[in-house]
Amino acid sequence: MKIFFSQVQEFPENTSQIAAESYFREQDSSGLIEKQLNAGKSAILLFSNGSPNAAYLVENGRGTPSSMSEFASLRDEVARIRAVKLPDIAGRLTLLALESQIANEFKIADPKSWMLQVEQWKQEQWSGLAEVVSDKLQGFALFWQGELQKSDRIFSTADGFVSDIPGLENGGDFLWEVTTYSPTPATQGYQCAVLRLGAMNWSRKILDRYQQLVGQKLLQTMDRELNRQIQPWRWHIALNDSNMLDAHFFPYLMDAAHAYRALFMAMGAQMNFVIGGNLTLRLLSETFEQIHPDERAILKSQRLIPAAFSE
């Protein structure tokens, strides 16, 4: 039976589904409720920032979409209910795994083999999700066009969640079981991931160019103002120098697009004020053409385009 993030602390064993749901809502927390069923099956209900958003039946590691009412109706065949609070990054990568197809399964025996595998994915410009499981850790790492995305990697250990794989430096905790997933383009998890990467990459290029024009001090002034404006929304998004750091779990494309639209509108307004509308439009247009075509396409599909954010 597949168990997500088995190393981290769970809710007490006698916690009911209702009690776990209440906790997630009250804490505005992401998490999962896992009903372990007979015959090695399980049912998963995912929460994003306090709201239930997706239910799945899991068999042989593969997720099949279900409904929340069907999840709630599972009672007699439930052997155990397990609830875990998750960081948003863990939640969004779990959703991506459940919506994807298993592509390959293999074992990694040492750090060198892992680094060789990562290099192979880089050469192949592979895009997909890698799951790593051992006795002491379990987690996911997202690869996009062959590059490991630092914003989308997370692993559970006995000490909690970490973003770096433990043991790579000293060769500890091997053997690893690795499962790779091929995302399904039509799913919310995949579309949110590509939109997120596109928004982060575009904003990085925008802010780099803006800094070249106005200097570090004015860039930091804009960062502070943008962080102030988006704070009431309680998105886990922050600007730091030339980077937009997005650690929020948006389960639906329209919610993610709404957040990025607000951010780019505020960014465009700040630049219009400092460097003028014509130069802002030129900066946005030139940097937009520099991002990956798939990122550009999904940004266009949500009307996140240069002309929308300049006067």
- How does pLDDT run across 288-304, given as a tens digit for each residue? 999 999 999 999 999 99
- How does pLDDT run across 197-239, given as a tens digit for each residue? 999 999 999 999 999 999 999 999 999 999 999 999 999 999 9
Residue 279, pLDDT > 80, answer yes
pLDDT band at 116 (very low <50, low <70, confident <90, very high): very high
pLDDT band at 15 (very low <50, low <70, confident <90, very high): confident
Map out the domains of the chain as residue ranges: 1-88, 100-182, 188-309
Interatomic CA distance for residues 13 and 83, integer angstroms: 9
Angle at 199 between CA 198 and CA 200, to 5 degrees: 95
**Both tokens assigned to 210:** 């803006």
pLDDT attached to residue 230: 92
Task: Name, in order, each residue with C-beta under 8 angstroms of 119's C-beta and a sequence gap of 6 or more.
Answer: none
Interatomic CA distance for residues 202 and 196, integer angstroms: 10
Q: Assess contact for 149 and 142: CB atoms under 8 A.
A: yes
Interatomic CA distance for residues 153 and 158, integer angstroms: 17
- How does pLDDT run across 126-168, given as a tens digit for each residue? 999 999 999 889 999 999 999 999 999 999 999 999 998 876 7
What mean pLDDT comes out for the span 173-191? 92
Helix (H) or strand (E) holding 36: strand 30-37
**Both tokens assigned to 185:** 């383009």
Which residue carries 């502070």 as its tokens? 224
- How does pLDDT run across 235-263, given as a tens digit for each residue? 999 999 999 999 999 999 999 999 999 99
Please provide the average confidence, as pLDDT, over all residues in the chain. Answer: 94
Residue 170, pLDDT > 70, answer no
pTM: 0.95
